[in-house]
Amino acid sequence: MLEKVAWMNMLFDFYGVLLTERQKDFMDLYYCQNLSLGEIAGEFNVTRQAVYDTLKRAEQVLSQYEEKLGLVTKSTAERNKLATAAAMLEEYETVKSDGRVQQARKIIEEVLEM
Residues 59 and 8 sit within 8 Å (Cβ to Cβ)? yes
pLDDT, residue 97, reads: 63
Q: What is the pLDDT of residues 22-55, one digit of tens each?
A: 999 999 999 999 999 999 999 999 999 999 999 9
For domain 2-69, the CATH architecture is Orthogonal Bundle (1.10)
Give the distance, in angstroms, between the CA of residue 60 and the centroid of all CA atoms in the same chain. 16
| Residue 92 pLDDT > 90 | no
CA distances from 11 to 27, 78, 114 (A): 11, 16, 16
Q: What is the pLDDT of residues 58-90, one digit of tens each?
A: 999 999 999 999 999 988 888 888 888 777 777
| Residue 95 pLDDT > 70 | no
pLDDT, residue 90, reads: 75
Least confident of 3-7, 9-13, 106-110: 106-110
| Residue 99 pLDDT > 80 | no
Give the distance, in angstroms, between the CA of residue 40 and the centroid of all CA atoms in the same chain. 22
How many C-beta neighbours within 10 Å does residue 26 have? 27
